[in-house]
Amino acid sequence: MPRFRPEVLLEIGCELFVAAGCTPSDARTVVDHLVESNLFGHDSHGVIRYPEYMRAIREGRYQARADPEVVQDTPCTAVVDARGALGQIGAHFATELAIEKAQKQGVASVSLRNTCHIGRVGAYPLMAARAGTMAQVFANGGHFGGQVVPFGGIDGRLCTDPLAFAAPRREADPILLDMTTSVVAEGKVRVASYRGEEVPQGWLIDSEGYPTRDPKAFRADPPGSILPLGGVAAHKGYGMAFMVELLGGSLSGQGCTRGAPVVASNGVLLTVHHIESFTDLETYYDEVESLLEHVRSSRLAPGFEEILVPGEPEFRSARQRQSTGIEVDDKTWSMIREELQHFGINSEHWKPE
Amino acid sequence: MPRFRAEDLRQIGYQLFQAAGCTVEDAAAVVDHLVESNLFGHDSHGVLRYYEYTLAIREGRFQPQAQPEIVQERACTAVVDGNGALGQVGATFATNLAIQKAKQHGVATVVLRNTSHIGRAGAYPLLAARSGMMAQILVNAGHLGYQIAPFGGLDGRLSTNPLAFAAPRRQDPPIMLDMTTSVVAEGKIRVAINRGDKVPEGWIIDAQGNPSTDPNDFRKDPPGAILPLGGPVSHKGYGLSIMVELLGGALSGQGCAAGERSMVSNGVLLTVYSIPHFSDLETYYDEVETMIDYVKSSRTASGFKEILLPGEPEFRSAQGRERAGIEVDETTWTRIKDEMLNFGVDPGQWVPE
């Protein structure tokens, strides 16, 4: 499999997105996000999207150049209409705005609509944590929602409704939680289906409501569904999906689940907290470090070699891939090269290692 | 079993807590909270606490006259020190402050420390939803933390760390989520121990980390632990628990889990959102009602008669008990009467139905 240094993938991406019409800084925003997904080990959200986005831009479904606009604004709140900008561009804009407001006011909430897919939701609280603030994000699928059953039901009525959170540490990578409120993200079901593998018990039911391990049941006609997070306590995952729908969907104006067949855009709410408006910064860092020390002092469960902090697997993967490079499958690499050719960009000097 | 109208239980409580030294408002904050627990069907958090709290007041452990104080304040944030006030008094104060700030500024976050147990976490977002606003609350137990195992570990290191959320509907009771980030609340293990019941698979592990259905394993020496929410994906419950520690514990100044065995006070963070600062109110209500109709249109799973919204079981129980009255067991009623006598209140006027 071709393997690239991350900087090479960044360079390729920037050239592509600029050629497709993005400003250099917008191109950088999108490409940084996608390459970071690869670094974190989430290849399904990484550079595999380059050709997909290029095609969407060519076909007029995505706008390479669109300026997000603040349509409602107070010192601690804003509503952003991204006017069809790429999701990473809209969400980046909203996050920077929320960080700036929170640093001035102590807390700020910015909602965002009309911006396609924002990608990994954890990326945005992470920006806030890297700026020394704490943040929560809630992202629904607008009117889309037919993947996840309500508690007590057997038909998909909600989407995977992710939420994410990040907080800074004194001298280490931030704490980063990035999770769907369903048992599993849809992408993982798709991957299992492509690979012809079974999924674990407890992920899926078929169209009649029976537990199944066949990922194809999810895409059958009539379709199966993903279960809400929680197993024996799935009413909790279901309740959290409502929280995400209401905060992310209704406050952004993107709307809540009602069965639309495709996602027009995520509906997003991001809330940022400025630590010093609540507590002394050194006290905060002390509390965080002693919490993590206490948690890690537990004996290990069988099969585990250590207790990790939320986000630690991602940051470890990133450090490793920074040094060993990122593998890109042949099909994706050839599709990326086709896109480069399409824009008349010479791809000869970007060779896999 | 003696049965009382909810209003009578409130009047009994007002008399008792005022006689014990609370102001009229503080007595109402405590009593309304406890009677609502009974109405919602959560009897373990209801009027049986009357005698527990008044006993604590007589013994000087609870301060009936203590008043919460704002120790740090900005337009949309505040830090409240409960000064040892009863939990419901501190949390009601903090909630009203957050509601007032959010109405003015769109969003507000208030943190709270030094206020003992705040009771049901869901009560406070519900206050906000009843004022037409949305709210999220995160509640840790300060330096306490020995009940919940971290993901990959088998010793209790975290507490049940609940989060709750509520949002208003146009004409119906609010949507309300009130959940622990562990599989189950500790109280349910205690109930199973008292009744001699087994607990479902997936709730607890014994001291060696083996799955157990014997609730006594949780209390043995060495003790077992409750698992984080999520079953096969319990890294999500673990991540949510860390989020609650950092927002509720670190920002409030109450501190994060450090292994203490008795709780001084909850650490609380409450964020309130004013809907009109983000979206037109009628549009909001339309989105919510359309979503609810859509979610409820799913076929039901076997064993379910209908799909309920988060909070609907509680509001239905309340409707039923408002009509039928609330049953109070003999022991509880006797002890409440004893406490009334202790504070010079004549219990003679209160006769069960």
H helix or E strand, kind and range, residue B180: strand B175-180
**Chain A residue with minimal CA distance to B300?**
A153
For residues B228 and A227, give the distance between their C-alpha atoms in angstroms, rounded to a whole number: 18
| Tens digit of each residue's pLDDT, chain A (353 residues) | 899 999 999 999 999 999 999 999 999 999 999 999 999 999 888 999 999 999 999 988 889 999 999 999 999 999 999 999 999 999 999 999 999 999 999 999 999 999 989 999 999 999 999 999 999 999 999 999 999 999 999 999 999 999 999 999 999 999 999 999 999 999 889 889 888 999 999 999 999 999 999 999 999 999 999 999 999 899 999 999 999 999 999 999 999 999 999 999 999 999 999 999 999 999 999 999 999 999 999 999 999 999 999 999 999 999 999 999 999 999 999 999 999 999 999 988 888 88
Return the residue in A140, A276, A298 with the most chain B beta carbons within 10 A, the one to mutate for interface testing.
A298
- Cα–Cα distances in Å, from A104 out to A109, A166, B103? 13, 19, 19
Q: Report yes or no: A200 at the B interface, CB cutoff 8 Å.
A: yes
CB of B153 less than 8 A from some CB of A: yes
Which residues in chain B are contacts of A108 at CB distance < 8 A?
A: 107
Which residues in chain B come in under a pLDDT of 70? none
User: Rounded to an integer, what distance in angstroms lies between the CA atom of residue A66 and that of residue A51?
Assistant: 20
Domain that holds residue B231: 3-282+311-349
Provide the pLDDT for residue B353. 81
- Residue A197 has a pLDDT of 94
Is B39 a member of any domain?
Answer: yes
Q: Is B238 on the interface with A (CB under 8 A)?
A: yes
User: Is the Cβ of B297 closer than 8 Å to some Cβ of chain A?
Assistant: yes
What's the pLDDT score for residue B1? 85
pTM over cut 0.95 = yes
Residue pair B275/B281 in contact (Cβ under 8 Å)? The answer is yes
B242 contacts chain A (CB < 8 A):
yes
Give, to the nearest 10 degrees, the angle between helix A24-39 and helix A87-105: 90
B160 touching chain A per CB within 8 A: no
Q: Please give the pLDDT value at position B175.
A: 98
Tell me how close the Cα of A352 comes to any Cα of chain B, in angstroms: 35
Is some CB atom of chain A closer than 8 A to the CB atom of B82? Answer: no
pLDDT in tens, B186-207: 888 988 998 899 999 999 999 9
Residues of chain A neighbouring B257 (CB-CB closer than 8 A): 291, 294-295
Asked if residue B310 lies in contact with residue A239, where contact means CB atoms within 8 angstroms, the answer is yes
CB-based contact (8 Å) between B134 and chain A? yes
pLDDT at residue B118, rounded to an integer: 96
Tally of domains in chain B: 1
Kind and range of the H or E element at B3? strand B3-4
**Hey, what are B287's tokens?**
């989105």
Q: Answer yes or no: is B246 within a domain.
A: yes
CA distance A17 to A146: 32
Q: Does residue B168 sit at the A interface (CB-CB below 8 Å)?
A: no
Task: Report the alpha-carbon distance of residue A78 to residue B144 in Å, rounded.
Answer: 37
Q: A279 touching B, CB under 8 A? A: yes
Ordered domains of chain A (ranges, CATH): 3-183+227-349 (3.30.1370.60)
Residue B97 touches partner A, C-beta closer than 8 Å: no
Residue in A with minimal Cα distance to B313: A235
Residue pair A146/A157 in contact by the 8 Å Cβ criterion: yes
Beta-carbon separation of A299 and B310 below 8 A = no
Residue B189 in domain:
yes
- The verdict on a CB contact (< 8 Å) between A250 and B136 is no
In a domain, residue B306? The reply is no
Write down the pLDDT at residue A60: 87
Gap between the Cα atoms of B301 and A75, Å rounded: 47
Cβ A109–B106 below 8 Å, yes or no? yes
Query: Which residues of chain B neighbour A230 with C-beta distances below 8 Å?
Result: 183, 229-231
Q: List helix spans (H) across chain B.
A: 6-19, 24-39, 48-58, 87-105, 123-130, 186-195, 235-244, 281-296, 312-324, 330-342
* Chain position carrying tokens 């029976």: A210
In eight-state DSSP terms, residue A227 is: P
CATH number at residue B180: 3.30.1370.60
The residue in chain B having the minimum alpha-carbon distance to the alpha carbon of residue A72 is: B278
The ipTM assigned to this model is 0.97
| Both tokens assigned to B312 | 């609907």
Structure tokens, A328 = 């890109």
The answer to whether A113 touches A145, Cβ cutoff 8 Å, is no
- Do the domain assignments include residue B305? no
> Do residue B77 and residue A278 have CB atoms under 8 angstroms apart?
yes
- pLDDT of B41 reads 94
Phi, psi angles (nearest 5°) of residue B51: -75, -30
CB–CB of A12/A2 below 8 Å? no
Interface touch A252/B239, C-beta < 8 Å: no
